[in-house]
Amino acid sequence: MTRPTIVAMGGGGFSMEPDNSLLDDHVLDLARAERGQQRPRVCFLATASGDSPGYVASFYAAFARRAEASHLALFIRTVDDIESFLLDQDVIYVGGGNTENMLAIWRVHGVDRILGKAWESGIVLTGLSAGSLCWFETGSTDSFGGLAPLSRGLGFLAGSHSPHYDGEETRRPHYHRLVADGTLPAGYAADDGAALIFHGTELAEVVASRPDARAYRVERGPTGAAVETELPTRYLG
């Protein structure tokens, strides 16, 4: 029996760490274990970057030799039956970019609903940045230029999320402020190079491609300030 699995990377993977494949290797290992495919079928969604041709090309360069690689384009759509296409995958990998735009486009094409079916069926869902934030109810996004609360994520995972926690100096204080004042519910933050692994809706493990990358639980404390708790992290190197 496969189980719902999400690997939410704060940052990293082939696009941010082209010379460090530890996170992507771990996703493929999870897919092999969960799906029983030695050469997993991996589909890339570059919606958040406007289906950037360069981004898609980088994905194929990173995955084509070790997986059955494909991508789903939505700006110039070439797949008629998106549901059958996505539910035939072992991994759905979501790239970074504008989270709000991505979610809006997904909803137009029904991808949000299909991803829910994919998750329930045990297809490994993963991604970085926008591809990490989208699985949660809400979080901190730069979709509008400056940082702001995400309007509505897919909600597979409860609470909020902040990617790039150590990668941009404003991320941590902004997330703390939104959790402290109640704008965002409690949630998880992940550094670049750190990935939160959820089985079902429960956090199973944090792994990292960098020795110093970490993830955190951030909650509103009894005094009204944000309380940050570092989570145990396993370095994959």
Residue 17 to residue 55: CA distance in whole angstroms:
13
CATH (residue range 5-235)? 3.40.50.880
Task: Please pick, among 164, 174, 176, 209, the residue that the annotation labels catalytic.
Answer: 164
* pLDDT tens-place string over residues 13-27: 999 999 999 999 999
* Whether residue 129 lies in the annotated active site: yes
* Whether residue 164 lies in the annotated active site: yes
- 84, HSE (Cβ side, Cα atoms, 13 Å): 3
* pLDDT tens-place string over residues 44-64: 999 999 999 999 999 999 999
Give 70-122 as a DSSP string. EE--TTTT--S-HHHHHHT-SEEEE--S-HHHHHHHHHHHTHHHHHHHHHHHT
- pLDDT digit of tens for each residue in the chain (237 aa)? 679 999 999 999 999 999 999 999 999 999 999 998 999 999 999 999 999 999 999 999 999 999 999 999 999 999 999 999 999 999 999 999 999 999 999 999 999 999 999 999 999 999 999 999 999 999 999 999 999 999 999 999 999 999 999 998 999 999 999 999 999 999 999 999 999 999 999 999 999 999 999 999 999 999 999 999 999 999 999
* pLDDT score recorded for residue 1: 61
Helix (H, G, I), strand (E, B) or coil at 136: strand
Task: Please pick, among 15, 21, 129, 209, the residue that the annotation labels catalytic.
Answer: 129
Query: In angstroms, how far is the first alpha carbon of the chain from the final one?
Result: 29
Question: How much of the chain is helix, strand and coil, in % rounded to 5?
Answer: 30, 30, 40
Cβ-contact 96, 130 below 8 angstroms: yes
- In the chain, what are the domain boundaries? 5-235
Residue 5 to residue 193: CA distance in whole angstroms:
19
Residue 139 to residue 162: CA distance in whole angstroms:
6
